[in-house]
Amino acid sequence: MKFNTIIYTKEDGIGIITLSRPESMNAINKEFMNELNLVFDEIERDEDVAVVIITGSEKFFAVGADVKEIISIGTPLEAHDFEVKAQALFSRIENLEKPVIAAITGFALGGGCELTLACDIRIAANNATFGQPEIKLGIIPGGGSTQRLPRLIGAGRAKELLYTGDTIDAQEAYRIGLVNMVVPVSSLMDEARKMALKIAKRPLIALKMTKLAVNEGINMSLPSALAHEARCFEFVFSTEDQKEGMKAFVEKRKPVFKGK
């Protein structure tokens, strides 16, 4: 399938989505959101894809919502239509059964930063810049960062970024827990692929159950979350991979997982 705003490739069980609106620094518009939904339709159906990487260009990941579309919003109803689509897309990425890695270079601002927050793991190049500058335009984020950012880095640090609209560099993002690691620009995709390949070798059903336990449990009370984890733990004992993994451990050999 050919897209106008993204490039999609597959290799070694990894689906790689490259954001590709260079004329607007990968600004997010309706076509962009529609095409991301289409590619995730394909990824959900494709059993050969175990892990997803989302990346941009060397100078920009994504600079947020396309101002040409945002500035045309004239009523709360039109604003509702736009942000509901953005929230639905980012929630879809967050809840995808397959792990998603953001490989970030350059600017990740506004909706671009929100897109990274919907991913499971964030790897930043040392030229990456993060921020939620919406307050400077007289608006607030609409793609989930008022909720995901505090959950990731704590309310105090999140409020500082949201209230000021200031940007931070990759090292500061790492220091406050916004990204998992910082690497040179030249090795970003190598590191992202290395991480993706390591994850792809893990038993797929156990991966799905781990993501489900974390994503759903984080919004529950601790007793409810522990009960949810217990159900996920019990479920994996119905899989062939659980039996193979434990048998291989006892036999001191590498397991051969089949995703069953």
User: Given a cut of 80, is residue 1 above it in pLDDT?
Assistant: no
Question: Has 114 been annotated as catalytic?
Answer: yes
What average pLDDT score do residues 211-218 get?
95
Q: For the segment 163-195, what is each residue's pLDDT rounded down to a tens digit? A: 999 999 999 999 999 999 999 999 999 999 999
pLDDT of residue 68: 84
- What whole-number distance in Å separates Cα of residue 172 and Cα of residue 108? 14
When pLDDT is cut at 50, 70 and 90, the band that residue 52 belongs to is very high
Q: For the segment 93-119, what is each residue's pLDDT rounded down to a tens digit? A: 999 999 999 999 999 999 999 999 999
CB of 156 closer than 8 Å to CB of 182: no
Q: What is the token pair recorded at 20?
A: 């590709």
- What whole-number distance in Å separates Cα of residue 186 and Cα of residue 161? 28
CATH second-level architecture of 6-200?
Answer: Alpha-Beta Complex (3.90)
pLDDT of residue 222: 96
- What whole-number distance in Å separates Cα of residue 102 and Cα of residue 115? 8
User: Given a cut of 90, is residue 230 above it in pLDDT?
Assistant: yes
When pLDDT is cut at 50, 70 and 90, the band that residue 71 belongs to is confident
Q: What's the chain's average pLDDT?
A: 95
Looking at the chain, the whole-number percentage of residues with pLDDT higher than 90 is: 87
Q: For the segment 115-172, what is each residue's pLDDT rounded down to a tens digit? A: 999 999 999 999 999 999 999 999 999 999 999 999 999 999 999 999 999 999 999 9
pLDDT of residue 70: 85
State the maximum Cα–Cα separation within the chain, in Å, rounded to a whole number: 66
Catalytic residue among 114, 229, 234, 240: 114
- What whole-number distance in Å separates Cα of residue 109 and Cα of residue 4? 21
As annotated, the residues of the chain forming the CATH 3.90.226.10 domain(s) are: 6-200
* DSSP state letter for 220: S
As annotated, the residues of the chain forming the CATH 1.10.12.10 domain(s) are: 204-250
Catalytic residue among 134, 160, 172, 234: 134
- What whole-number distance in Å separates Cα of residue 204 and Cα of residue 5? 30
Per the model's pLDDT, the better-predicted residue between 74 and 210 turns out to be: 210
The CATH class, in words, for 204-250 is: mainly alpha
